[in-house]
Structure 1
Amino acid sequence: MSRPLRILICSAFATLAVAHAQQPVTVQTQQGAVIGQQAEVRTFLGIPYAAPPVGDLRWKPPQPAAAWTTPRDASKFGNDCAQTVLALFALPGETPGTVKGQEDCLSLNVYTPKGTTAASKLPVMVWIHGGAFTAGSSSGYDGSALAQKNNIVVVTVNYRLGALGWLALPALGAENSGQSGNYGLMDQQAALKWVQSNITAFGGDPAKVTIAGESAGGMSNCAHLASPASAGLFRGVIIQSGLCTSPGNSVTLTDAQSRNQKYARNLDCQADDLACLRAAPVEKLLGTKVPGLRPAPNLVWSPVYASGLLPLTLRDAFSTGQFNRVPVMNGTTHDEGRLFVSVASPNGKPISPVVYWGGTGLTVGASNTVKVLKQYPYRNFGTPALAFATMFTDAVFSCPALRVNAALSKYVPVYAFEFNDPNAATIVKSPPDLPGLGAHHSSSLAYAFQSKVDGLADAADFTPAQRQLSDAFSAAWVSFVKTGKPESADWKTFDPAQNNVQVFTPEGVQPSILFSNDHRCTFWLPLDLQ
């Protein structure tokens, strides 16, 4: 056989293999038919769940997506929401500080096992991504492995970010019964309502929806627990590293509207000139800072409280039982703060003692700085960077999570966990003054999804021990999605008297009552940082 003929035959077989691997599959939604792809898993990408929030719809509650009559291609992701590229998570070809994405971005993606039909009635996990409410996208999380291996439906969601998702101003409130801000949260609620109306056609059960999210996504899920408008949209919640009651993240609508008036003026608009604001270029909106000095953990753009959507702060809602009562799985990673040291370390230079002292003051407030520095003297940690990372982990993530567990557990089953792989797989570079990134903020995600997570890690890089850890960690999430509780005989619901936390390590999974001591929570909780 001649070489050209062999090449032609091989090419033909390769084409047939690809065609066999990916076959079109059509599902009817309430807006119209969508054509996804089916191989070992079915994927439907870029489905609009709301109208594009552009023009006059900028800073308005999400509106219904327009219907279509011709079947819609669902083989490609929709636009990322407009955002500024962060240096830490910049992908190849992206320049930190530039704007990417579009305002027209309210879409979601559905992953289902091969052969799923409307009669399947599978449990559903809806993933809300993190990124400090200013970055990230649904396309960064591949739900294929979770769907295929575990016979569940996975939905990943985009929502408005930065000023476009969270700007609160009196003039905007005048258009919406006195309420402004929280547009990103309303987007998430619109996506959850879309799931309730449409997921049956994809093989999911609208009565078995669990919302899951990390960082800002975890904080979003805390907000859904507290929001009356989210009632009935889910039956369980997974919170990974949510800053739900962390210092500086209980901004009221009144305070947000006050500080954002200065932001509007920095856009060369009057705060009540909505035409000017809605005409402002996206690049200018996202590149303009909100004036004022805030605590280091404070998320400038985030949910606002004492509002129609969130009548109470999260702490008040949880402590008084005024929340949507469903089972909760709430956890952190052991070394959350090390990622933020990577962000704060300029050009990889070591953090100096002076920077450590100043960062501590911004984190805990001037009145607490001296006692915190005595509790975390940098000489005991080897470097100021490790001292700050440890202090930040304990103050902002670990001990607030313990407070959330204690409050919620009075009313609902709570399953507390900690992810602790000391050498977690990551593509993020560690600064020279840290002994590695450890189980840093967001390090658990590739383990949970068992896939690549853009800008963070790839499950393909796991060692055998890490693969075993990933299997156990992911299985715990999936069993909670399926049944409302982890299928582990030794994983008991949280007891405030024990502070029991399930710890996931490469060596195994076991319950522990040492979490509070490990993170010095007997020191932190009485400080009651606001």
Structure 2
Amino acid sequence: MLFSQPILVLLGAYYAIVAASPLDRRAAPTVTLDAATVTGVASGSVNEWLGIPFALPPTGNLRFQLPQPISSYNTSFSATAYGPSCPQQAATFSIPSGLPTETVDYLTSTLSNITGSEDCLTVNVFVPADATPASNLPVVIWIHGGGFESGSASTYNGSVIVNNAIDLNVPTIYVSMDYRAFGFLASEEVKQAGVGNLGMQDQRQAMRWVQKYISAFGGDPTKVTIWGESAGSWSVALHMVTNGGNPEGFFRAAFMESGSPIPIGDITHGQGYYDFIVTQTGCAGSSDTLQCLREVPYDTLKSAIDDTPNSMSYQTLALAWLPRIDGVFLTADPQQLVLQGSVADIPFITGDCDDEGTLFSLSTLNITTDAQLTEYLQTYWFPTAPATTLQQLLVYYPQDPTQGSPYDTGTANAFSVQFKRIASILGDAAFQAPRRLFLQQRSGRQSTWAFLSKRLKSVPVLGSFHGSDLFNVYGGYDMASYLVRFVTNLDPNGSGTLSWPTWTTSSPNLLTFLDGQTPQQITQDTYRVDAIAYMINVNLNYTR
């Protein structure tokens, strides 16, 4: 999700967790990396190696520097516990009064803060217990969400995915990594130093690690799929469009949950946030503010970043910290790169939840009039758009609650006079419109599949909220089966599941996940066709 979440707590609350068996009496597994013997954990039918460093700690003078690879492992060590999560921006959000208890339970579970450490660049590897270096198994790399401001690999149980793959006779290796949430400084100073998008560079370095070492665990480095959700899904999309669309052999397929190539402005657009941090940390008088930020005490830096907007603040998905055009990792707006054809030529899956925007509209309940909504959109979302454009946008997204999100709930869930309308606008701007544009542009050029999750629609106010599709995978449910088959066969289909046709412009098929007696059905990606088409145009022309 866009924010940190103890995912297993959520799963336990609403689904039966499909987890690995208890630790058995097998000897602890070992693997040889360079000259080191690395000891892991034997857990049922899965072997786990946790917290393996993939880069030097980005501490001291390496703070706000590109990730530095570890040249070799020379000393044996144990990898039996997750490494520290990366530093997290504090989740500051007041839960509105009047929300039903069920909704509050979801929110309180998802907004738990995680204690982080700067020494956090580690990977975790989950492997079928019978794998050997000769197994040549396919590999899936998980990139967690968190709004580029929080999140942790440790909150996702990779053994669920590996066990699911074993059960379907498509054994798979699962890799997850932590990357710097404080890795998205944006300013002219950052641009000149060539140290933008450090969180993305961390992810890329983890992929290099997989290429170098995964065969020792039984993985095939030529059969890697990258997979993420929310900010992790946006990350996957950006890895597809960077480097002229050349994946450098790091991955051969991609799976995206709630995140496609999004409109992104130049890295200098973050100057205001950078200047604020420089002032708050006492670096304003320095001749080299970036170097000063490397040297300030960690607690001072964290306190300054905590005081900047987060994904649950008033501006919500108009994120303060996110990847931006830096001339290195990103040479242009990702959506323009898509239009230019700078896209990795690989099969991919991308999908969204039905009500992506509801979670992020709880901070805008004070907006009650069209004039206030127009001002909000002009200030945070489309500052260069003319008034006529925003007025037309509001025509496509009327105040009528029967047309708002949570969709298909009539006049219910209208938590404030503009809540469902704003939820519809934000969900389409950040998720649905970018996904549909991406699919339209790649149709006929590569194999593409798309999904829509309408599960948990009955959750009051939130509906099928952002992140609710995670239950379908980390709960061991049907989306996990489609995922592991895709990782193995580059096709999500297999016996025992509804056949999932590809998405094309002539037949925009969606595998739709539903509650009730019919768990999946094929629908068409034609909802809100005119509104989303207009939103696509606004995104393309008025990038923040």
**TM-score, length of structure 1 as denominator length:** 0.80
Change in CA separation of 1:59 and 1:66 when aligned onto 2, cut-off 3 Å: same
1:65 aligns to 2:70 (yes or no): yes
Q: Deviations over 1:110-155 (max 9, x none)?
A: 1111211111111110000111100001101111011122021000
1:499 aligns to 2:508 (yes or no): yes
Q: Secondary structure at the match of 2:28?
A: strand
Change in CA separation of 1:314 and 1:74 when aligned onto 2, cut-off 3 Å: same
User: Contact 2:191 / 2:268 at 8 angstroms: preserved in 1?
Assistant: no
Q: Which residue of 1 aligns with 2:89?
A: 84
Aligned partner of 1:406: which letter?
Q
Q: Which residue of 2 aligns with 1:285?
A: 301
Q: Which residue of 2 aligns with 1:331?
A: 351
Q: Which residue of 2 aligns with 1:14?
A: none
1:75 aligns to 2:80 (yes or no): yes
Q: Secondary structure at the match of 2:344?
A: coil
- The structure whose Rg is larger is 1
Q: Which residue of 1 aligns with 2:34?
A: 30
Greater share of helix residues, 1 or 2?
1
User: Contact 1:306 / 1:313 at 8 angstroms: preserved in 2?
Assistant: no
In 2, Cα distance between equivalents of 1:62 and 1:440: 34
- Following TM superposition, by how much is the alpha carbon of 1:404 offset from its aligned partner in structure 2, in angstroms? 1.1
In 2, Cα distance between equivalents of 1:190 and 1:490: 36
Q: Which residue of 1 aligns with 2:258?
A: 241
User: Contact 1:85 / 1:94 at 8 angstroms: preserved in 2?
Assistant: no
Q: Which residue of 2 aligns with 1:512?
A: 523
Pairing of 1:379-394 with structure 2 (within 5 A): 379-381=400-402, 382=411, 383=414, 384-394=418-428
1:132 aligns to 2:147 (yes or no): yes
Aligned partner of 1:494: which letter?
W
- Following TM superposition, by how much is the alpha carbon of 1:100 offset from its aligned partner in structure 2, in angstroms? 2.3
Change in CA separation of 1:446 and 1:182 when aligned onto 2, cut-off 3 Å: same
Q: Deviations over 1:336-373 (max 9, x none)?
A: 1112134x26xxxx655247665455445562443333
In 2, Cα distance between equivalents of 1:86 and 1:260: 19
Q: Which residue of 2 aligns with 1:460?
A: none
In 1, Cα distance between equivalents of 2:537 and 2:108: 41
In 1, Cα distance between equivalents of 2:271 and 2:457: 43
- Following TM superposition, by how much is the alpha carbon of 1:380 offset from its aligned partner in structure 2, in angstroms? 3.2
Q: Secondary structure at the match of 1:209?
A: strand
Aligned length: 471
Aligned partner of 1:30: which letter?
D
In 1, Cα distance between equivalents of 2:525 and 2:108: 38
- Following TM superposition, by how much is the alpha carbon of 1:491 offset from its aligned partner in structure 2, in angstroms? 2.8
492-501 or 333-342, which moves further after superposition? 492-501
In 2, Cα distance between equivalents of 1:69 and 1:85: 37
Percent identity of paired positions between Structure 1 and Structure 2:
29
Q: Which residue of 2 aligns with 1:113?
A: 128
User: Contact 2:507 / 2:524 at 8 angstroms: preserved in 1?
Assistant: yes
Q: 1:474 aligns with which of 477, 480, 502?
A: 480
Q: Secondary structure at the match of 1:189?
A: helix
User: Contact 2:224 / 2:253 at 8 angstroms: preserved in 1?
Assistant: yes
Q: 2:162 aligns with which of 125, 135, 147?
A: 147
256-265 or 198-207, which moves further after superposition? 256-265
Q: 1:300 aligns with which of 320, 325, 337?
A: 320
- Following TM superposition, by how much is the alpha carbon of 1:166 offset from its aligned partner in structure 2, in angstroms? 1.4
Change in CA separation of 1:265 and 1:222 when aligned onto 2, cut-off 3 Å: same
Q: Secondary structure at the match of 1:85?
A: coil
In 2, Cα distance between equivalents of 1:287 and 1:136: 18
Q: Secondary structure at the match of 2:504?
A: coil
Aligned partner of 2:523: which letter?
S
1:199 aligns to 2:214 (yes or no): yes
In 2, Cα distance between equivalents of 1:514 and 1:169: 38
In 2, Cα distance between equivalents of 1:153 and 1:519: 42
Q: Which residue of 2 aligns with 1:20?
A: 24
Aligned partner of 2:149: which letter?
T
Change in CA separation of 1:374 and 1:45 when aligned onto 2, cut-off 3 Å: same
In 1, Cα distance between equivalents of 2:530 and 2:220: 39
- Following TM superposition, by how much is the alpha carbon of 1:409 offset from its aligned partner in structure 2, in angstroms? 2.6
Q: Which residue of 2 aligns with 1:7?
A: none
1:252 aligns to 2:266 (yes or no): yes
In 2, Cα distance between equivalents of 1:371 and 1:172: 37
Q: Deviations over 1:364-408 (max 9, x none)?
A: 556244333333333434422222222222232112210011123
1:353 aligns to 2:368 (yes or no): yes
User: Contact 1:81 / 1:161 at 8 angstroms: preserved in 2?
Assistant: yes
In 1, Cα distance between equivalents of 2:302 and 2:437: 34
- Following TM superposition, by how much is the alpha carbon of 1:243 offset from its aligned partner in structure 2, in angstroms? 5.3
Q: Which residue of 2 aligns with 1:525?
A: 536
Q: 1:372 aligns with which of 386, 389, 393?
A: 393
1:269 aligns to 2:286 (yes or no): no
Change in CA separation of 1:369 and 1:174 when aligned onto 2, cut-off 3 Å: closer
- Following TM superposition, by how much is the alpha carbon of 1:226 offset from its aligned partner in structure 2, in angstroms? 1.5
In 1, Cα distance between equivalents of 2:451 and 2:336: 23
Q: Secondary structure at the match of 2:141?
A: strand
Q: 1:45 aligns with which of 47, 50, 60?
A: 50
Q: Which residue of 2 aligns with 1:166?
A: 184
Tell me which of the two structures has the higher relative contact order, counting C-alpha pairs closer than 8 angstroms and 6 or more residues apart. 2
In 2, Cα distance between equivalents of 1:235 and 1:520: 34
- Following TM superposition, by how much is the alpha carbon of 1:51 offset from its aligned partner in structure 2, in angstroms? 0.5
Change in CA separation of 1:35 and 1:450 when aligned onto 2, cut-off 3 Å: same
In 2, Cα distance between equivalents of 1:31 and 1:378: 64
- Following TM superposition, by how much is the alpha carbon of 1:18 offset from its aligned partner in structure 2, in angstroms? 7.1
1:319 aligns to 2:339 (yes or no): yes
Aligned partner of 1:419: which letter?
S
Unaligned runs of 5+ in 2: 1-20, 94-105, 166-170, 403-410
**Where in structure 1 do 4 or more consecutive aligned residues deviate above 6 Å?**
88-95
Q: Secondary structure at the match of 2:237?
A: helix
In 2, Cα distance between equivalents of 1:509 and 1:95: 32
